A and B are shown apart, each in its own frame.
Chain A
């Protein structure tokens, strides 16, 4: 049964923290609330994609345990150190990246199979960024695993993806919480699940320093885009920014059960407001 008002769930960028979406999906499922539209960017695209295929939150929790494990982000690109030290002699054939993507591709293919956007039971929109122009690109067709792979192409970690003449990388570079896509698609109630970066102070290595600056910029971008979209449109936006109570690092896969639990609590918190909106028609 569809809702009188079109409800969208937008799952933003947040690496491993995006699994909080599973907690939110559980809450919605228990309350019997159906989603009419799913939008995912960065890590959020994995869960938006699986939910759009009709999997329940509990099924996705199980799939996730096989999909996103520690090894996925531990596959070194053996040429990377040489390319870093001798950029002239060892120019990357296409781009520089630190982690090989064979395993992540296998895992995504295992989870999504051959299924495409056309197989989704809930309309799905996945965001990526055109790396050369910086524009947001919304993916709506083709194999799901490929779209997700483009959306999670974290710069310098995973290689970007070539698709339709564009070079696609992580969706967060253009918008860490793409509520704008849900608005354009006519959503009237938007559940916006967003994540701020985890501070990694003290900045005692060069890598941490660069990563921190990148996080500062991304958090500022999140605030700017969120406040713009909120002001510019009439859709009701219910923000969900889970408070994890302890630092969750980017690839801290062991924290997933805790993350889902926090997501569930954050979902419970906005549920009354959502129900009021739905009753109000």
Chain B
């Protein structure tokens, strides 16, 4: 049984790094419950894993690919040239394409999983990726061109990976402008939106400059998400069901071995909503 033609169901996956793999578990439970997805919207980590659902993988296959897609050592290869430019800007000319880590492994992982030349037009479910224009600060939604390139742009976590120049725009992490892009699903005509949401973890100890700065970004991102979500809820008539997978511990970029556990958390979080969703879809 699939959703009646009139109800368009969107799966929106917010920013949240590796935790976003949980959306694959949520999606698996939806598929098992006979809820078909008409639209996938992803931001940052949400785009990385959302792409697998959009491309037409079976849930089991998507889970397996997720393990390979994210090479465990994406943050091991330091970009010393970029660090040099950051510490000696006068001498080495700092520029905005700055990231502490080289993105080669990240690109290889995405291209292997999605296909290097797979275009948005080829996805089985329409797919939208949210990025941010670094110069204007406004969200830019990508739904044309190469999927791997768009996902790479959306995953340009500030300071960690460099922004991507795409069609004349310097694009970076969607999380800095629209961490949980339910508004994109509304604009695309969704009636029922299943939003998988993640909070940015807070720092337990803020005594070093780095932890203090991370806490500043966590505070702003979480507030941004809360206010945007509240505004979208007020502004639109679409039904929004929020699923917030829970994690006891922080999940870092390199916790690839825990992906199966993360996916299960997403499946568990979906459980209490399934009956309601089925009822809504008749």
Interface residues of A (CB under 8 A from B): 80, 83-84, 87, 91-96, 129, 131-134, 155-156, 167, 173-175, 199, 201-206, 209-210, 212-221, 224-225, 227-228, 231-232
Q: Known contacts A87-B208, A95-B206: does B223 contact A221 (CB below 8 Å)?
A: yes
Minimum C-beta distance from A192 to chain B (A): 15
Q: Which of B107-115, B140-148, B210-218, B238-246 contacts A (4 or more CB under 8 A)?
A: B210-218
One digit per residue, 1 when the CB lies within 8 angstroms of any chain A CB and 0 when it does not, for chain B 210-234 equals 1011011111111110011011001
Cβ of B277 under 8 Å from chain A = no
7 tightest A-B contacts by CB? Answer: A216-B137, A224-B227, A134-B219, A96-B209, A206-B86, A228-B231, A203-B96
Assembly CA distance A156 to B206 (angstroms): 11
Chain B residues with Cβ under 8 A from A202's Cβ?
96
Contact B176 A216 (CB under 8 A): yes
Contact A220 B176 (CB under 8 A): yes
Cβ of B177 under 8 Å from chain A = yes
Partner of A217, one of B176, B208, B234: B176
Contact B202 A132 (CB under 8 A): yes
Partner of A231, one of B94, B96, B207, B234: B234
Assembly CA distance A134 to B215 (angstroms): 9
Minimum C-beta distance from B32 to chain A (A): 35
**By DSSP majority rule, is chain B's interface helix, strand, loop, or mixed?**
helix
Assembly CA distance A159 to B228 (angstroms): 29
Chain B residues with Cβ under 8 A from A225's Cβ?
223, 227
Q: Known contacts A83-B208, A213-B176, A225-B223: does B216 contact A203 (CB below 8 Å)?
A: no
Q: Known contacts A155-B216, A224-B231, A231-B234: does B96 contact A209 (CB below 8 Å)?
A: yes
Contact B95 A92 (CB under 8 A): no
Partner of B177, one of A132, A212, A216: A216
Chain B residues with Cβ under 8 A from A155's Cβ?
212-213, 215-216
Assembly CA distance A156 to B15 (angstroms): 25
- Interface size of B by CB at 8 A reads 41
Interface residues of B (CB under 8 A from A): 86-87, 89, 93-96, 98, 132, 134-135, 137, 158-159, 176-178, 202, 206-210, 212-213, 215-224, 227-228, 230-231, 234-235
Chain B residues with Cβ under 8 A from A218's Cβ?
220
Contact B213 A209 (CB under 8 A): no
Contact A173 B220 (CB under 8 A): yes
Assembly CA distance A174 to B178 (angstroms): 16
Q: Known contacts A204-B94, A228-B234, A232-B234: does B158 contact A83 (CB below 8 Å)?
A: no
Chain A residues with Cβ under 8 A from B219's Cβ?
129, 131, 134, 173-174
Chain B residues with Cβ under 8 A from A93's Cβ?
207
Minimum C-beta distance from B171 to chain A (A): 12
Chain B residues with Cβ under 8 A from A221's Cβ?
220, 223-224, 227
Chain B residues with Cβ under 8 A from A231's Cβ?
231, 234-235
Q: A134-B202, A232-B230 are in contact. List 12 more A-B contacts (CB 8 A).
A: A92-B209, A131-B219, A133-B202, A175-B227, A206-B86, A209-B159, A212-B134, A216-B134, A216-B176, A216-B177, A220-B228, A228-B231
